[in-house]
Amino acid sequence: MFSQIIIILISAALVNNVLMSQFLGLCPFLGVSKQVDTAMGMGAAVIFVITIASAVCSCIYLAILVPLNLTYLNTIVFILVIACLVQVVETILKKAMPSLYKALGIYLPLITTNCAVLGVALSNVQNYTDHLVLYSIFNGLGSSAGFAISITLMAGIRERIRTNDIIPSFRGQPIVLVTAGLMAIAFCGFAGVI
C-alpha cells in the first residue's frame, strides 16, 4: 500500500502533471507566474484547495452521491465544495498574509473556476474506486504539488528571460507560450519513470 501511494504521488506530480501533461489550470499558470514569490503563494493555495477538495469530494461522493444514486450530480456538487474551500483560503490569506492576497489579486478567486481543481476531483472518483478517499487525497496532493512545481519553475524562467534580448515578435506572451511548450516537452521525459 505504501508503494502504491508513492507511485500515485510521483505519477500525479511529474508523469501526469496537471499543467504539463493534461493542460488543466493554464489561466493561473500563465497569469501568476511572473514572480517566484507570487507563484509559490499560488502553488501553496492550490495545494491546500486541491488536497482538501479531493478528500471532501471523495467523501461526499461515497457517502451521499453513490448511496442515493445521484452520481450524475458530481460536477455540480464538486464545484460548490471547491467554491467554499476557495472562500476559506481567501479569508485566511486576507487576514494572515495581506501582501500575498494583494499579489494574487484576481487569480485567487479564479481557483474556484480553475479546471485543474475540478479535473483532479473528477479523476479521483473515476480512477480510485477502491480505497477512494485515501488514494484521492494522495492524488490530490501529488497533482497540486506538480502544479506548484510547474508554476514556480515557470516563474523562475520568466524572471530570467525578462532581462534577455528577445526579438520583438516574441516578446511578452509569445515567449511565455514557447517556454511553456518546452517545459511540457521536458515533463514528457518523466513518462518512463513509472
pLDDT at residue 31, as a whole number: 84
pLDDT at residue 178, as a whole number: 92
pLDDT at residue 130, as a whole number: 66
* Residue 27, all three cell numbers: 489561466
Average pLDDT for residues 133-137, to the nearest whole number? 90
Q: Is pLDDT at 162 greater than 90 in this prediction?
A: no
- Which residues have a Cβ under 8 Å from the Cβ of 187 and sit 6 or more positions away? 14, 17, 20, 21, 150
Q: Is pLDDT at 101 greater than 90 in this prediction?
A: no
Average pLDDT for residues 36-64, to the nearest whole number? 89
Say if residues 100 and 38 touch (Cβ distance below 8 Å): yes
* pLDDT 10s digits, 116-132: 899 999 998 888 766 77
pLDDT at residue 112, as a whole number: 77
Between 162 and 144, whose confidence is greater? 144
What is the chain's mean pLDDT, rounded? Answer: 88
